[in-house]
Each structure stands twice: as structure tokens, then as C-alpha cells.
Structure 1
Amino acid sequence: MFYFSCLRFFSFLARRFFQIEYKGIENIPGEGKLIVCCNHKSVMDPLFLAAPFKRQIRYMAKSELFEDHGAVFRWILYHLGAFPVKRNSGDAQSIRTAVQILDEGGLLGIFPQGKCVFDNTPFKPKAGAAMIAGLSKAPVLPVSIYCDGVIKPFKRVTVRIGKPISPEELQINPKSTASVRAAAGVIAEKINQMLEEKN
């Protein structure tokens, strides 16, 4: 499969050029729908995040990646399972696609900060991940990617995988803005706790 062939190749390169340590791999569910929610440190994050998973992660990716880099790059993104989302807008189509992936028992990867945050400021997500969790009734797996400073070759990168947050714990009412924001705050708190552990 194209996705796993690419993942094995780039994971090999990543192990050669980055000191990656994974903690909490045992928290990854073996089956069932799941939203993988992570802070965004670098363009390498989708690779760092996908490596310990035995199932394909379908990523929401900013639409500019599909529009600004040519047909070949767009083809690669689609065949890797990514799909576009328009940032800073209520992109109903991308939300429907995300919910459909989850309803079919798939894994959805979201970096809800919306862009790379290169320093170690606290994780402040937008509400999209919580909204999708509320619509799909899917658990959320919090993940943190930590590096002391900007991620560069041969620097240590720590990827922490937390325990899934159940729909019951999030208690999201998709029709309530306050409920969605509260759930986003719960997700942020879990990820920030892992980031504070550092190495």
C-alpha cells in the first residue's frame, strides 16, 4: 500500500536524522474510530505522529498544500489519505469527510492549532477537533511532540501518547458553542500536561 510504503521509507530516514523517542505507545487503541489530536511543531509532525500506528491516519491538511504545489504533490497528498480543509472558515465539506472517516471506524489526524508553532508556548487549539468529536462521538487521543527549541536534524524529539479521552468525559453538545469550547479546553489541558513533562 502506498501509504505504508512511504511511511516505512520516511520513518527510516527520520530515525537516521532525528533522535525520536516514543512514550505511551500502549495507549493506542487497536481498533475503532479515533481522533488523533496533537500540537504542531514542524512540517515533520505527520510523519512523527504516524510512525507508531499500525493503521492509516487520515489527516486534515490546509487547502493551500493542495492548491499551491502542483498536481504531483496534490496527487501524493490524496494517495497518502490527506484531504483539504479551508482554514479560518466553517468548511462544511471537510467536516463531513472527517465524520464519515470516523463513522467507518477510521483514524483522523488533526493539528488543531492550524499552523506550526515552533516554540514551546502552551497548546491553544481551535475548536474544530472538539466539534468533530461531538458530531462523531469518537474518542480523542491526545499526543504531544516536544523538542527543546526548533526541530532540527540530530536533536531529540519526544512524542508522548496519552490515554484516549472518551466522549463521556468530553460531554460535547455540537449545537452549543460553550460546550465545544469547554471540550477543546479539556483536550488542550491533556496535551499541555504532556508538554510540561518535556523529556
Structure 2
Amino acid sequence: MSEAAMFALSNAFWVFVGIVAGAFIQFLLSKIQARSQFSAILDVMKTELALNIDEYENLKLRLAGLKTRIGAGQVTDSALYIPMEGFDYSATLAQIRFGNFHYILGKDYSQRSLEFMRYFSTGNGHIKSHILKDQHAKDRSLDFIDHFLREADDIVDNLRPLLNARRQFWKSGLVMQEKDI
């Protein structure tokens, strides 16, 4: 083979290596950017969850006061209400719409989050309030509130480990702190 042919062949080889290296670098950069975006989304969702857990703690305080008033016989039907309007799911709902929710949280925490959202929804608050009024008429409102709080505590406790979760670098899914598993 002539020297010119060898030079052309060697040039083609290095052009090919450059293209492959460029594609690999582009792939790595896109992975790093996607990880950064998903980590930011997870942080926003964790902040929203923390705010909703705080809202639940406020709801527990309100229900404790309601139980005291019921026990003292100083409650009207209009006070027999379980308010759930303060729970906010705007960041989570946006991720559900964009299709990132299940990818970021994985199956288990997606189920837990959706259960939390269903339980602490305005619609469920109206249903629980109606049941509370019905139970109050049967003198069982305190038992109902206790039952409600036990269910709610279980749902919240199942989701708390998400507050300390972080994204895995190369895989989809979350890494939990050992103490939270």
C-alpha cells in the first residue's frame, strides 16, 4: 500500500475515533444534565411532601382540639369538619403530567405518594367529614377521629423515608438512607 493510501486510511480512522469520542462525551453530558434535572425535581417534590406533612401535623392539632370539644359536649355540627384544603400537590401533579413522577419515585414510592394524595384530598375530607357527623349522631365520633388518625399516621409514616431519598446516578430509582428502610 502506498504512503498516500496509508495516510488517507489513518485519517479516516482518526476521524471515526473522533466521532465516536464526541458521541460518547455527548451521551455522558446528557446523562449528567438529566440527573441534575431529576435531582432538582425530586428536591421540589420532597419540599412539597415536607410541607404536606407539616399540614398533617396541623390537622392533628385541630382534631385534638375537636376531640376535646366533643368530649366536653361543646361542639356544633358545623364544627364537625375535617379540613384538607391546605394540602398542596401542585409540584407533584406537574410531574405526573410531564411523566416524570413514576420514573423518579419508582413503583413503591409512587404508590405511597398517590395513596397520600388520595387520602389527604379535599374530596376525601368531605367524605370523612360526612362520616364524622354521622358517627357523632351515634356518639362514636371520638372513635372515628382516632381511627382516622391511625390510618393517616400509617400513610404518612410510609412516606416519610422519601424525605431522605436521593437519586441513583446511572439507574432509575431512589436510594434510601439505611435508617429509613
TM score, norm. by length of structure 2:
0.25
Higher Cα radius of gyration:
2
Structure with the greater relative contact order (CA < 8 A, sep ≥ 6): 1 or 2?
Answer: 1
Q: Specify which structure has the higher proportion of helix.
A: 2
TM-score w.r.t. structure 1 length? 0.23
